[in-house]
């Protein structure tokens, strides 16, 4: 797709020029993250072994479901933990075992457990509204992360509808951050488990947050992944861009929204620039840049949609931006319910 390639080339050019100006000596590490969806193993026949693990720093595994009582659990047990792959011999199978094996052999690769998504978001408002269900959510989410041997949690609530729900999401995330830190204190002393959310780049969604709520989100989250697309839909009255980076001053009606405006809005409301990750569905790519840390960040949805070989957009991002984030993943899940994860596949 010519438009996709051109779009990504523009983003890479912008990101590379920023990096060149700010880092005269050596390139700094960047985050290059992708979603791997469990349903991709079926019709698309895209398996974990096909992931370009040498070119990404984070894999967001999508999605697990949340029940009305707050319990977080697998949405597809066959894909997640039952599907047998060659060499399987113990009790955690499926994508989970394959992904753990990938991170064991690539120590800079981090795995994120993504909860919700469009399909599994309907219970979030109920779960986030009470202390009891928030505690159940945090406990079972971290428990599943530990059982599967992952490095963090990504919450994809699409979307809080008002300031009350935005505040409830903040409480949910604060409780989850506390539970992650408590788990680390008990089982992984000194380690920091990651926490991120997927967030809309549309004003109707991010304006439900009060300034204090957004600022507190910035304090509790490692990353905010902005879904910067669907700016123009089938219900729009004027033809326009679906995922434009900037507004068009010559034809402003065609670009009532933009990724640029969304990023600025989140940063002005208190989300650190280092944590703001812009995603473009058309290009299947994104980037952000922290001028203080000199760190570049990109995110792709989703891995099975990328083209293989020299036309790979993930590879283009990797080649254009520099060195990957080098923080190590975590492997020692001594309390996992699965024998092989608990033993590190040894």
Q: How far apart are CA 193 and CA 174, in angstroms?
A: 14
Indicate the length of the chain as a whole number: 346
In degrees and rounded to multiples of 5, residue 122 shows phi and psi of -65, -25
Q: Going by C-beta distance under 8 Å and a sequence separation of 6 or more, which residues neighbour residue 142?
A: 153, 176, 179, 180, 183, 193
Which of the residues are catalytic?
Answer: 158
Q: Going by C-beta distance under 8 Å and a sequence separation of 6 or more, which residues neighbour residue 336?
A: 92, 146, 147, 148, 149, 342
Local structure of residue 82 (DSSP, 8 states): I
Tokens of 134: 């928030």
Q: How far apart are CA 18 and CA 296, in angstroms?
A: 9
Q: How far apart are CA 126 and CA 77, in angstroms?
A: 24
Q: How far apart are CA 322 and CA 318, in angstroms?
A: 6
């Amino acid at each position: 797709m010519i438009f996709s390639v051109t779009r990504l080339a523009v983003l890479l050019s912008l990101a590379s020029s920023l990096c060149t100006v700010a880092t005269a000596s050596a390139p700094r590490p960047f985050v290059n993250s992708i979603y791997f969806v469990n349903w991709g193993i079926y019709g698309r026949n895209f398996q974990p072994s096909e992931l370009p693990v040498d070119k990404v720093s984070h894999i967001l595994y999508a999605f697990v479901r949340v029940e009305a009582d707050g319990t977080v659990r697998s949405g597809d047990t066959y894909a997640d933990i039952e599907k047998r792959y060659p060499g399987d011999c113990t009790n955690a199978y499926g994508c989970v075992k394959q992904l753990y094996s990938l991170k064991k052999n690539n120590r800079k690769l981090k795995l994120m457990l993504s909860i919700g998504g469009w399909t599994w978001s309907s219970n979030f408002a109920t779960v986030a509204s009470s202390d009891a269900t928030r505690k159940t959510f945090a406990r079972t989410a971290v428990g599943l992360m530990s059982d599967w041997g992952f490095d963090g949690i990504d919450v994809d609530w699409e979307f809080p509808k008002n300031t009350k729900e935005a505040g409830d999401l903040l409480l949910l995330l604060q409780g989850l951050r506390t539970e992650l830190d408590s788990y680390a204190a008990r089982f992984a002393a000194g380690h920091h488990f990651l926490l991120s959310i997927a967030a809309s780049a549309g004003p109707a969604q991010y304006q439900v947050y009060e300034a204090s709520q957004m600022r507190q989100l910035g304090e509790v989250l490692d990353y905010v992944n902005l879904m910067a697309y669907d700016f123009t839909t089938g219900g729009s009255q004027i033809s326009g861009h679906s995922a434009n980076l900037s507004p068009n001053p010559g034809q402003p009606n065609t670009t009532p929204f933009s990724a640029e405006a969304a990023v600025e809005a989140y940063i002005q409301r208190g989300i650190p620039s280092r944590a703001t990750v812009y995603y473009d569905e058309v290009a299947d790519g994104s980037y952000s840049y922290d001028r203080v840390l000199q760190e570049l960040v990109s995110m792709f949805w989703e891995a099975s949609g990328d083209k293989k070989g020299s036309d790979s957009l993930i590879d283009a991002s990797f080649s254009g931006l520099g060195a990957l984030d080098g923080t190590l993943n975590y492997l020692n899940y001594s309390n996992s319910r699965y024998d092989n994860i608990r033993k590190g596949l040894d």
